[in-house]
Structures are given as structure tokens and as C-alpha cells.
Structure 1
Amino acid sequence: MTTKVPFKIAFTSLLMLSTFIVGFKIISFKEPKVSLEGYQIEDGFELSVIASESLLKAPVSMDFDNKGRMWIVEMIGYMPNLEGIGEDEPNGRISILEDLDKDGVVDHSKVFLDKLVLPRAMAFVYGGLLYTDGPKLWFVEIKGDKPGKKTLVDPIYAEGGNVEHSSNGLMMNIDNWIYNANYNFRYQLKNGKWLKEPTSYRGQWGITHDNFGRLYYNNNSVQLQGDYVLPNKAIRNKYFKPSIAEGQKLTNNKVFPIHQTSVNRGYQKGVLDERGYLTEVTASCGPLIYRGGAFPAAYNQNAFVCVPEANLIKRNTLSFNSTQTVATQAIAGKEFIASTDEGFRPVNLFNGPDGAMYIVDMHRGIIQHKAYISQYLAEQLANKKLDTLQNAGRILKVVNKSSKLHAIPDLTKATSKDLVALLSHPNGWLRDRAQQLLIQKKDFSVIKDLVALAKSNNEFSASIHALYVLEGSSFLNFGTVSEIIGQSKQPETIAHALGLIERYANIQNTPQMQAICTQLLAQNNETLDLYLAFSMNNWLKFSNDAFLPVLAQIEKKYADKRVFQEAIVSSLDGKEEQYLNTQNPSTLLKNNLTLAINNHQKKELNPIFVKEKNAVDNRTRGLQLFRSICATCHGADGKGIQDLAPPLKESEYINGSMKRLASIILHGLSGPITVNGKQYQLNNEMPGLANNKDISDEDIADIIRFTQNAFAKDGKNIAASDVKKLRDKKPAGGGLFNEKQLLETDFEK
């Protein structure tokens, strides 16, 4: 059966009946099949839909359990209409998708958790599920596909901002810490207690890591960002914020769609080309470093990026050296996946247990939150009837035609020996999950195997995985880490080990650590030197004489490389003056150390050590104030309400002077009033907000900013300082403004 829809979206849904026998019962499932006509994928690859509506709605994230089944986060409440009304309804859920007849297409779905408010992320960790519900972060045990005991991990995890600017990601990294996009904290469950500690603020939607453990992310207008170094290495000095080691733009933002594009700022010069095609990303999200091991070697650790506003997925190749990562468009002028289907909204990408790449396609028309959607885009979506594309959603799978997928093991039945073997598997998903399962087991019988693997030369960072199994299981000690540093031939493994050996810093271990430093410096290796510079913080608490010269030697060697200088400042937290007085630093390092000292004196911390939750952005606050104060009369859609208030759309008071608009909001209005050529006889006066002590100048400016974005032809801005000045410019007689006064007053004086 072919379903026709009233907009230009390739959408052919067939319900194929799958029947098989379980015991003496015949079980039938409907398998949704979707046409991918209008989708283009890079030569040599194949794209298929493995799950779709009605088995899921509005998917935004996913993970796989230890049996290889897909678990899906469904954010059903997001923008249910062009006005975004009703998005706080508890209708979100987390569902388990299954392929019971094993033909590669999902045929069954069951709800694990429901009645969630705008859920946006989850992760299988510690034998349970970490997930979001509204602003809260929860951990729930899993008992036979049903939720067990719940623990509140963080009550303010996603508080503040709107759903597009709320914390998400929840990715376990190789270092046993869980990192996020859009939040400056990381999490770990240790000895039965949840730890929360500051980390650098990263990205907007989605986060991923490479084999070494570096983090990658992005925001709307920057398709790929990343850290040059491992997380939390460059922020040890709380009074110094690194500018080189982290948060770097890795490539350009060019984009190559295959159809005319409807985007929020399409009316601005340069956003679209002469054909109406988007030129640079405006809503990039959901990055993925491919680590599946089932694509050709040239695709290993490529960076893929979702671009939902242009209905495509980008591919970038990455090049690494010890101090920098660079991304390059894989094929000039062409994307990895591009579609003419305007309902194709890829928002997240994941490596799978079989080595395939999985695409979370929210598959909807509206992909812009109400706080930011412009009148221009709202009209385009309405004209194409894209606002009617709701309650859909798909999971797509990408495979390489010439490569075999990996068999998916049932990790619930794997022995400790099996899991140790999987630490060397080509598929990063399997390595990551095997690492975590080994930590949960804490099996003393495999310690020797893990230590041997941590010392060995191997592919795919297997030695790093083994090192962190030892760390997470509390099997490490100073002697073991020292042996690994001394015997490993892999600089990347030693880099991690240098971070771990810091926890054993004391007077007794100082001579051996000093010998380790001498040994590593003699190798003349940039990676070793960099992470040695990062790892001196704890050791300096016990001996300036032993370890300040180590930093001085590294500084002189790399005097012109800023990332090394930032590493040294990070380690010198509290020791800046000693270094300045004894080591004669270069001008660059001297400036950085002086900055840290001055910040310390002024008590100006790196903001990540101050900020507890995300702030509500101006437009979201404006939307909230508009809904609570203005929408009762003007309508949530700004179209006005008969006999109460005129429309805001097409209003000369919205499109005209911002100071006049601010004066109306401050001092009120009495009718009648003419808007867009039509006179409105109002039954009520509009009260002013000037005497409301709960409404600030900034609040009024935010209301105006929202109305300009949502209802104006060409949005304009106003500063809170302008609003403040207008408070004293009251209408003649001290009452409310009337239409005659509004037209005769020059508000720009």
C-alpha cells in the first residue's frame, strides 16, 4: 500500500507481515518498510530503514543493550505544532526495539519507561540505564526488561534553557567517566556513590570520542569541534582557562544539499546560494567518530555529522598528531548521505555492535524550537505542510557493500576471558562495552591477562582499554602503573598511564617518578612530553626541586607551541610564582602564569568551576514571558484574540520602532487601535508593566526579542539600557498610550 501525503516528501510505507512459530504459538508482527527514493549515499555503501513508525515516534537518541537490542529515546513532546504548545506534556518514553524473526528489520517494540518530559539522552552503564526526564538525571536498574530501583543522580542536570540547549549526550568515555554535550560536568559511579565533577563545556547536541579518548562535538553553526588533548587535562589550574588545548573548530562549515533548503535564516544574504541551496550548516548536531571496524580502513575514525536542516550527513577524514587534530571534507562538494526528502531529520549517529553505523532520524517537518523559529521559516513549513509531519521516526543503518558485519555476541553470557579477548576487537562498541562489563565483574582471575595486554603493542587502543579495566576495578597500584609506563611501546597508552600514576604521588614514590620522567624525556616524543607536562600537578605538592625542572625542560623544548605552555600552566596550579622565580620562563608562559596569578588574586575562576546549571537564553526567557504575560490576549500564535487584542503578525507596531514597542509594553495601551489597516475596538485596556517589580528591563527586552524573531518581517534588537530610559517617558497625562499619541510621538529622540 502506498500512502500519499500532501507535501514533497518521499514516503512509501508498506506493512509487511512476518510470521513464525514459537513453541506451539504462531506469532505475527508487522514490519514497516519505507522507500528511500530520493536518498543518495556514497558509492560502495548501502542505506536501509530497519525501524520506523508506528513502532517508534520522534527518536532522538539510542543505545544497544548487552544482547545487541536497540533502546530508543522518543522525545514525542518536541514542537507538537508550529507554536510549540504542549511540549511539556509527559508523553516521552524509552522503548526497546526487537527483531524477533532475525531478518534485519525491527518487528516489535515495547515501552520500558514512559510519561517522561522531553527525554533527550540515555546510556547503558553499570548494569542499568542512565536517562533524562525533564531537568533530572536518573539511574534505573533493569529487571527483566522492566525498570527496577531508581536513583536520582542529578536534580538540575538539564535545568535552564530550552530543549535545544539542554544537557544531553551521556557518553561513557574510555577513561570511565560519562561526558555530556551542553553541560560542564561529568559523572561516575564509584563504590556505590555517584560522583559529579566539573569538566569543560562542550557542544550543543551530541558527543563522541576517538580511540584515544579525545572528545568531539559541535553546535548549530560549527559542524565539528574537538579537543586536541584528553579531557580534564588542561583545566587543572582553576584560575586559567585554556584556549588552544580544547574547543577547537576542526574544519569549515560548507554544506552541499541536493535540493532547495528551508532554514530559519534563509532570508539573510549568503545563507542560501542563487539556487536556494544552503551554503553552510545552521543546525549541525549528533557527530560520530566511526569506530565500528566494518567499513574499509580509510573510514576508520572518520567524523560523521548530522545536518538535519539540509537533510544530509557529512563525512570528514581526520588527521592526528600529538598536539592537533584536523578534519577535511571527505569528497569535495559531495556529502556522504543527501536526500530530497525534507522529512529526513538525522539528529544522532551511533556505532553498532555489528560495526554498522546507525542513524537516528527524528523524521518530522519542524526541527526548530519555537523560541528561535522565525516567521519566515514558519511560513515556509506551513506552505509545504511540513508542520503536519508529526509522530514519525526512523532508525537507518549504513553498511559497506564489500565488508562483512561483525557477529553480535550475547554479552550477557560472555565469560571474563571472552570479554578480555573483546578488548582487542576491531569494533570500538564491543571494546567499550567489554571494558565496562569487566569492571562490573571485578574478576581477579584475569588481572595478569589485563596487565599483559596493557603493556603490549596492539591495534585499536586495546592496551588503553585494559588499563582502564584495571583502574575501574581498583586493581591498579603504583608498581603496576610504573611497569606499564616502563614497558609499553605505545605513547598513547603511556599518556593515559601518566594521568593515572598521579593518584599515587607521595614522598616515597618521588624518586621512582623522577626516574620515570628522565626515561620519558630521553625518548624525545611529543606525545610523551605533552602528557608528562600535564601530569606534574600532584607530584609538585611533594617536591618542587624534582619536578619543576621537568616542566622547565619541556617548556624550553616547545617554547613556540601554545598547547605545551597551557599544559604547564595546568600543572602549575598554585605553583606559578615558584616557577616564575626559579625557572626563567619564556614570554608566552610568563604571560599565562601572570594571568593565572592575577585571576587567583581577583578570585576569578574558570567559569566551569562556578557554573552549576545552564542559564535560560534570552529568546527562551522571552518566549516564557510572552506565554505567561502576553499570549492570554494576543494568542500563543500572535494572531490576536477577538475583542481582546489585535494580532502581532503583520503589525506595524512589531515591524516598526523598537522603542515605541517597548513604550507600549512599559506604559500600556487603550483602544481603539488600527493594525495593518484594520481598526480594533478593544473591550479592555492593555496594562503596562513599568510598575511590576517582578519584570525587569532585561525581561522586557527579551519579550521584544522573541516577538521580533517570531512575528516581525525583519527582526530588530533593543538593549535593556534603552528600556530603562523609556521608563520615565510616560504618555501625556500619566495614563496609558492611545493610538494618536503613539503615532505622534518620536520615540527615537
Structure 2
Amino acid sequence: MKNISRWTLCSLSSLCLIFSSSIAFASQQPVKSKNKGDREGHDMTAPIAAEDIPPAPILSVEQAISSMQIQSGFVLENVAAEPLVASPIDIAFDPDGRIWVAEMLTFMPDLDGNNEELPEGSIAILEDSNGDGEIDKRTVFLDDVVLPRTVAIVKGGILYADHQQLYFAEVLEGNNLGIREVVDPTYAEGGNVEHKPNGMLYALDNWYYNTKSNQKYRVMSLLADVPNNAKEIYRNKYWKMVVAETDYRGQWGISSDDYGRLYHNGNSSPAQGEYLRPGSLMKNPGLQKPVKANNIGSTRVYPIRINPGVNRGYLPSTLIKDGPNKGKLANFTAASGNQLYRGDQFPQDFYGVSFTPEPAANLISARRVVETQGVLTGSELYPESELLASTDERFRPVNLNTAPDGSLYIVDMYHGVIQHKEFLTTYLRKQSEARGLDKNNRSMGRIYRLRWQQNALGKQPKMSKQTPAQWVEHLNHTNGWWRDMARQLIVQQGDLSVVPAVRQILTNSEDHKARINALWTLEGLGALDLDVIITALSDIHPKVQVSGIELSARLPDSDHSVIGEYLLKLGPIAYELAVQVALVAGEIQGEKSLLALKQVLMLYGDKPWIKEAAISGLAGREQEFKAHLTDFDNNDFIEMFNRVGKEDIANSNVLNLENYIQDSYNRGKDYYDGKAACFGCHGKDGKGIDNMGPPLQSSEWVTGPEQRLAKVLLKGLMGPIKVNDSQYNLSMVMPGFSANLTDQELADLSTYIRNNWGNTASSVSRNVFEKLRKQTNSRQMPFTEKDFTH
């Protein structure tokens, strides 16, 4: 290990996440196709003349801050910059407030991405050794990681992921490395660097969650029982790790509110929030529904410089065509690292605001979250403006974190090119070369702190030297980071001596957020009992009651009669209580819980999520509940109820195919998960991903005429489109694969998606693509739905 206050970096690069990048273009002539991101027939004529594009020189930290417009009341300060940090893509604060930073030092070392697979990425520790608020010490903990993409704190060390696997690295005294072992060898398997899991957020329910993933992870005592539907995948001397399935969500970055609900984004969807807690609708294997995320606010962005260097800036509607904002990005194209602010340094009005970086437009956007019945909505906090925007095109904010001092930390890759080679177009290559944005990217990176000017920063934590009893005090802290870290430390330490003190917070704290945190701390310690749950169910705040209802299902059957009485009483009071009653009623044994469920369906059956919640919670008790439906007139629920156990879920038709077609199918699966990376937008289960891609399962676009699917795969598709009578108004454009996949590869891919997830359609031959490639050779743009309706 190396401790250094001044360190010269010489081998750096950067990340991507469907980012789009940087710019000037010297010619107005159409560009000849030659890069992997090119799509045959696309006219890549530059939309902005070279002389109209301002320069993009490397700026010093002081110059970079001067280039930014920041909303009144805020001030931006640099806490770390090169040579102390380079190509940062993720950070985590440890119990002492030190910054653990993942540096993707070999991402796109040049425009061809040569040697990016070299093991030269770093996990480093950044410290403020003298307490002046600035980082002055860097410790290189690991320097041999291939494209590190996430880092998280865990008992005994850290969890981190490279481009394939999730690891545990033990941290010994003096920041030395102890054991380093693979926790999950398939954590980031398949796909390319832009379409892999990331996050490892330690959430309220004591599980780690990721985006671009349907897996969740939990650290447990070596003697603890493995939860239902989970499996143990790793153990060391400190703990064992279990993994379970959860909802597939998001793209890059993940955060949570005080109630355990997750927030994330897609590249063109700046903020998405899930009204239900993760996994709520996955309890019933006979009929599972995804928890659809709600969009928070619009997709519009308001840069303060022109953005002709986004990867597909030549496409219509990507950039504003005329007027005073000509050449500026119109909508998000590279949303990343969304953060729901839960700090205490900003004014109270900012608590719970969703912040999203847009590195392609060099800005950070802010959206207020509004909760209504079953829905999370919101609007821009600064209409037709942004929280922070820069004229420096190399300003690439990719992640945000609520900090221990209550401020908002900004992770800035400070990198010219952030589009991966698999998607880089000749258009962007030419712009990057003309502007020199492909140069000097191997030693740059900044971490900023955004704070409210009139408020003092919070103190630096020193939790590693504290006792579990002292950690309990932090469960009542006004800053969400302190509550989360205290709960994680208590739960992963497993010291049951603190249970009485935690119960006191549940009883005595005036802050409902602290009471909720105390509840889930007791859950993590395995210390729930009937008295604790009754205290929660009797709380004056509905959010505490919601957690109490959810956790009541953890109690033994002997307590269920009492819980049934509470469900009958709480269900009619408010919608948010009714949803949670519906989710647990089937798990609470006895007739009272089923009566509570029927009551909820009668009162709220037409409200969002109620029917789905009831089906999810009923797992295994459907026949018992059927007797309650004799005088029930909610036809939608009855229709859903009757589908339990009868719906095809992710069913493959491969065994019904001839042997040589099975070979095609299997090759197509490899392309779907790898070279074509279709799963990044449509999901591994083919059910689609909100605001990214519509479902392929039971889609007429997939199982209909093979020529239609072939044309879409060759040339791409622009929305809006209708799938299964549902309208999809996606701002993303599906690019064609004519330049990237051969006719045989496209035929294999088609055969796979037409015969998976319950689809049973004919295979597709190479000849179909050979013929259509010639017929569509002159087409300049992706298809639209109208092209197939005339």
C-alpha cells in the first residue's frame, strides 16, 4: 500500500453508462461509416458548424468552478482533484467519513478503447488528515482492478466489483490488504461496460441493491438461517453472503428514501422512483408483476453551452434546431448517479429532492418528489434551469452522494470522451478528434462538495472507534447518512446488547425517520417481537405503521391472531396502510387476515397496486381466500386471481426446435446477453425496462411477421410504438445492428427472442436478412411504427 499526499497519475481513463460525449466537427459533409456505433444509412452530417462551437480546453479546478452557474444560496467547493484522484466513477464513505473511490483508469484510453482490459484500475482511500475540509492524503488500496465499477463498505473491509465479479477485500490495520476473495463470480457477467450491474446500496431492509441487475445481496451472521428464496454464495471469518432475486431496475446509480423505496434512472430518464419497496410483488411464484418505477418530472435539460458532441447528435430532435438555444441538448441522454438528498446541511425544503447528473450536457438537475396514492411524481425544482450547469465540456458528473457533513458530493470524471467504443460513432470520433477531447484524459478527475453557503458543515464521523451503544445514538441523527451507517454497523456487528437501547428510540424518538430506522435495525438483529410490532402498528405516523405491517409477517404464527386484529383495524384508515395490509395479509395465518384483505379490496380495489399486492401476498392461500369471493364484484381482481399459476413466466421454446435451430437459438442467446446487449434495454426476462425498452415477451413486434422484426434489427426503431395495446413513448432510439452483426448473427438473435419467455414463433433464416439488407440499404433513418402500418 502507498500513502501519498501528492501522487502523479499516469495511466487513467473513464466510464460510460450510455453516456454521450464531446465534440467539434470540422466538416459539414456526411461521415463515412467506420466505427462500432455507426448505423448503416445514418446521415452523420454535423448539425453545428465547427466555427460555431466554443473550445473545450482543460481547465484548472479554479477555472472549472468559475465556468459553472449555480443556483442562489449554494456554493461549490473542490475537495479532491488530480493528482489525488483520477477517473472516479463511484465513491463510498466509510464509518470515519473517509472516501473510498473506484477509479476506472483504463476506460477508453483512446478512441479505439485499446488495452482497457488491463488490470490497472484503482480503489483508493482519500482523507482529510488535518480537518480543513480538503482531501490531502491518498492511499492506494488496490491498483490491479479491471474496470472497477462499484465500491461499498462492509464489516471487515469493502465490497467492490470489476467488469465481471464481486469481491470482498479485507482491510487490515494501516489500510493494508488482507484476504481478497470472489463473492459472486457472475455479478457483472455478460454485456459490455455500459450495460453491467453497479451500485451495492445498503438499503433500509438491510440488503444491498444494484441497478442493471435483478440480484440483491445480504451479509448475515455465520450461524443465521438463510432467508426463504435466497441462497448462500460466500462466507469468510466475519460473515456469509446470501443472494436473492429482486426487481430488475435502472442503469447507473441508485439511492433510497427514508422508507426503503429505491430511486434510479435510465440514460434518458433522469429520475425514477418505486412507490413500493423492492420485491413487494414477487412473493407469489404463480403470478409475479414488476414494480413499475414512476418518472419524476420531465426529461428536458437546460445546458448553458451547446452540445453537438453527444454520440447521436446528428439525429433529429437530439439537439434544439434553432433559436437562442440552438445546438443544446433537448433531453437527457446520459442520466447517471441519481441521488435522493437526505442530508441536513441544505435547507429543509431540499430534503428528499432528487438530483441527477447529466454528463453529456455538463450539468446537474433537481426534481422535487411528490407522493400521491400509489404514485411518485414530481417536477423540476428550477423550471427551465438547472441546479448547476457548466460551460466546461469536460465536466462529467457521473455520481452523487449525500455526505456525512450533510452536503452533496459530486463525482466528476473530468474526461473528454465518455462513450464506450462499442457505441462510439464516427460522428463523435470526428468531433472528439477535432476538439482534442480524446487527449489528456488519463490523469484527470475531481470530487466537489455542493453546500448551502449560510449553513455550517456537519462534523466528521469517527464511528470506527465507537462502541455499538454509541452507534445506536446515531440512529436518531438528522442526516440520513449517519442513520444508515449506524444501522449497518449495528446489524453487521450483531451485538444484541444494544437491543434495549434501539427499542427506546422506537418508543421515545420524536423523529419518525429514526423510529423506522430503529425498527429495521431490530429486524437486522433478529430482535423483532410482538411488543415491538404493536408499538410500530400503534405509532402516530403512517410510515412507521407501514414498516410495522411489513415486519409483522416476520413474527411466529402464534402471534398472528393479534396481528390479524390490527390489520382489520388499520386497512380502512388510509390507502398506504391498505396497500401494505394487502401485501402481508396472506402471510398472516388465520381468518382475520383474510377478512382484512377482503376489506381492503372492497374499499380500495380500484386504486393502484392493491390488486397486485393482494395476489402477491396470497401466495399459497389462494384456495382458502376463494371462499371470500362469492359476493365480490371486482372483476379485474377476479380475472387476475384466476390467472395465478397459469401464466407462462420466462418459458423457453428451445426444446421444441429442431437440433440445428437449437444451435441458432443458443448462439442468439449469447448475442442477446453479449455482443448485441439487448438485455440492457429489454431485460434478461424479456419484460422490458421502464423508460428504456418495451417488452419482448408476448410482443407482436417479435412474434409477428419475421420481416418486420428483421427490418427493426437491421435499421432500428424510433418511438412512439404500441406493444400489446400499451403505448410506449420512449425518447431513446433503438439503433439498428446492420453494421455490427452479420446476417447469420441477426438470424440467430431473431430465433432466440422469438422462442424465449413464452414466445413460440418460427425461426428466422439468414436469407431473410440478406434480402432485406439489400432492400433497405438506402434507408437513412430508423423505422417508425407508421412504416409498418401503410
Give the structure-2-normalised TM-score.
0.73
- 1:405 is aligned to 2:461: no
User: Does 2:583 align with 1:534?
Assistant: yes
- The structure-2 alpha-carbon separation of the partners of 1:700 and 1:588, relative to structure 1 and needing over 3 Å to count, comes to closer
| Cα distance, 1:603–1:316 mapped onto 2, change above 3 Å | closer
* Alpha-carbon separation, structure 1, partners of 2:68 and 2:513: 35
Residue 68 of structure 1: which of 74, 83, 97 is its match? Answer: 97
Gaps of 5+ in 2: 1-23, 25-53, 223-239, 653-667, 679-709, 716-740, 752-761, 775-790
Report what 2:640 is aligned to.
592
Aligned to 1:512: 562
- AA aligned to 1:468 is W
Cα deviation per residue 1:128-162 (whole Å; 9 max; x = unaligned)?
20110231111122102122123322110000111
SS at match of 1:562: coil
2:446 aligned partner, one-letter code: R
Question: Is 2:496–2:525's contact at 8 Å kept on the other side of the alignment?
Answer: no
Question: Residues 315-347 of structure 1: CA distance to partner in whole angstroms, max 9, x if unpaired?
Answer: 011122452211210011000010010100000
Whole-angstrom distance in 2 between the partners of 1:348 and 1:565: 36
Choose which of 174, 191, 196 in structure 2 pairs with 1:166.
Answer: 196
Contact 1:697 1:724 in 2 (8 A): no
- Mapped pair 1:451 → 2:508: no
Residue 254 of structure 1 corresponds to 300
Equivalent runs, 1:343-422 vs 2, <5 Å: 343-391=394-442, 392-422=444-474
Q: Mapping of 1:304-703 within 5 angstroms? A: 304-321=355-372, 323-391=374-442, 392-456=444-508, 458-459=510-511, 461-477=513-529, 479-506=530-557, 508-521=558-571, 524-539=573-588, 542-543=589-590, 545-583=591-629, 584-599=632-647, 602=648, 604=650, 621=675, 696-698=745-747
- Aligned-residue offset at 1:548: 2.1
Q: Could you tell me how far 1:119 is from its partner in structure 2?
A: 0.6
Q: Which has the higher contact order (CA 8 A, sep 6+)?
A: 2
Mapped partners of 2:677, 2:649: distance in 1? 35
Distance 1:227 1:623 in 2: 25
* Deviation per residue, 1:205-251 (Å, 9 max, x gap): 000001111100011111111111111122212343435x4322222
1:10-42: CA deviations, max 9, x gaps?
A: 6443xxxxxxxxxxxxxxxxxx86642211111
The match for 1:42 among 62, 71, 79 is 71
Amino acid at match of 2:395: F
| 2:345 equivalent to 1:294 | yes
Q: CA deviation at 1:204?
A: 0.5
Post-superposition Cα deviations, 1:623-660, rounded to whole Å, max 9, x if no partner, equal 99xxxxxxxxxxxxxxxxxxxxxxxxxxxxxxxx999x
Range with greater deviation from structure 2 (125-134 or 279-288) = 125-134
The list of structure 1 runs, each at least 4 consecutive aligned residues, that deviate by more than 6 angstroms after superposition, is 614-617, 699-702, 726-729
For the 8 Å contact 1:211–1:460, the answer to whether it is kept is no
Q: How many residues align?
A: 614
| SS class of match (1:106) | coil
How many Å apart are 1:575 and its aligned residue?
A: 3.5
Q: Deviations over 1:714-747 (max 9, x none)?
A: xxxxx99473346799x9xxxxxxxxxxxxxxxx
SS of residue paired to 2:90: strand
- Alpha-carbon displacement from aligned partner over 1:173-232 (angstroms, at most 9, x marks no partner): 011110001100100011232110000011000000011111000111111111111111
Q: Judge conservation of contact 1:456–1:489 (CA < 8 Å) in 2.
A: no
Q: Structure 1 residues 501 and 151 mapped into 2: Cα distance closer, same or farther (>3 Å)?
A: farther
Cα separation, 1, equivalents of 2:195 and 2:214: 13
Residues 722/469 of structure 1: CA separation in 2 closer, same or farther (3 Å cut): same
Q: Deviations over 1:471-500 (max 9, x none)?
A: 2122223x2333323432222122222222
Q: 1:603 deviation in Å?
A: 5.4
Residue identity in the other structure for 2:137: H
Q: Is the 8 A contact 2:285 2:619 kept in 1?
A: yes
**Kept after mapping to 2: 8 A contact 1:372/1:619:** no
Matched residue type, 1:210? D
State the SS of the aligned residue for 1:397.
strand
Pair 571,376 (structure 1): closer, same or farther in 2 beyond 3 Å: same
1:212 touches 1:492 (CA, 8 Å); kept in 2? Answer: yes
Q: How does 1:114-193 map to 2 (within 5 A)?
A: 114-144=143-173, 145-192=175-222, 193=240
Q: Which residue of 1 aligns with 2:127?
A: 98
Contact kept in structure 1, 2:416 and 2:437, CA below 8 Å: yes
CA RMSD of aligned residues (A): 3.1
Classify the secondary structure of the residue corresponding to 1:309: coil
Q: Structure 2 vs 1, CA of residues 294 and 727 (structure 1 numbering), >3 Å: closer, same or farther?
A: closer
Distance apart, 1:412 and its partner CA: 1.6
What is the DSSP-based 3-state SS (H/G/I as helix, E as strand, rest coil) of the residue aligned with 1:439? Answer: helix
Residue ranges of structure 1 left out of the alignment (5+ in a row): 1-5, 14-31, 607-613, 625-656, 663-687, 703-718, 732-749
**Could you tell me whether the CA contact under 8 Å between 1:455 and 1:487 is conserved in 2?**
no
Shift of 1:525: 2.2
Cα distance in 2 for residues equivalent to 1:298 and 1:56: 33
Question: 1:415 Cα deviation (Å)?
Answer: 3.1
2:705 maps to what in 1? none
Distance change >3 Å, CA 556–CA 176, structure 1 → 2: same
Cα distance in structure 2, aligned partners of 1:103 and 1:510: 55
Three-state SS of the structure 2 residue aligned to 1:292 is coil
Q: Distance in 2 between matches of 1:482 and 1:218?
A: 34
Provide the C-alpha distance between the structure 2 equivalents of 1:537 and 1:409, rounded to a whole number of angstroms.
Answer: 43
Structure 2 counterpart of 1:133, one-letter code: D
Residue 496 of structure 1 aligns with an amino acid whose one-letter code is S
Alignment-mate amino acid for residue 439 of structure 1? V
Question: Does the 8 A contact of 1:56 with 1:393 survive in 2?
Answer: yes
Question: What is the alpha-carbon distance in structure 2 between the residues aligned to residue 517 and residue 504 of structure 1?
Answer: 14
Given that 2:512 and 2:544 are in contact with CA atoms closer than 8 Å, whether structure 1 keeps it comes out as no
SS in 2 for 1:164: coil
Note the C-alpha offset of 1:413. 2.2
CA contact (8 A) 1:292 1:355 kept: yes
Greater gyration radius: 1
Q: 1:348 to 1:726 in 2, by over 3 A?
A: closer
Tell me which residue corresponds to 1:240: 287
* Structure 1 residue 450: Cα displacement: 1.2
- Alpha carbons of structure 1 residues 182 and 726: separation in structure 2 relative to 1, 3 Å: closer
State how far apart, in whole Å, the 2-side matches of 1:162 and 1:472 are.
Answer: 35
- The reply on whether 1:78 has 2:107 as its aligned counterpart is yes
* AA of the residue aligned to 1:517: L
Aligned partners of 1:576 and 1:597 also within 8 Å:
no
Aligned residue in 2 for 1:266: 313
Q: In structure 2, what is the equivalent of residue 724 of structure 1? A: 767
> Secondary structure at the residue paired with 1:475?
coil
Structure 1 residues 699 and 8, CA gap change in structure 2 (3 angstroms): farther
Larger mean CA deviation between 155-164 and 576-585 belongs to 576-585
3-state SS of paired residue (1:283) = coil
Could you tell which deviates more after superposition, 340-349 or 562-571? 562-571
- C-alpha contact 1:351 1:429 (8 A) present in aligned 2: yes
Amino acid aligned to 1:196: V
Match of 2:136 in 1: 107
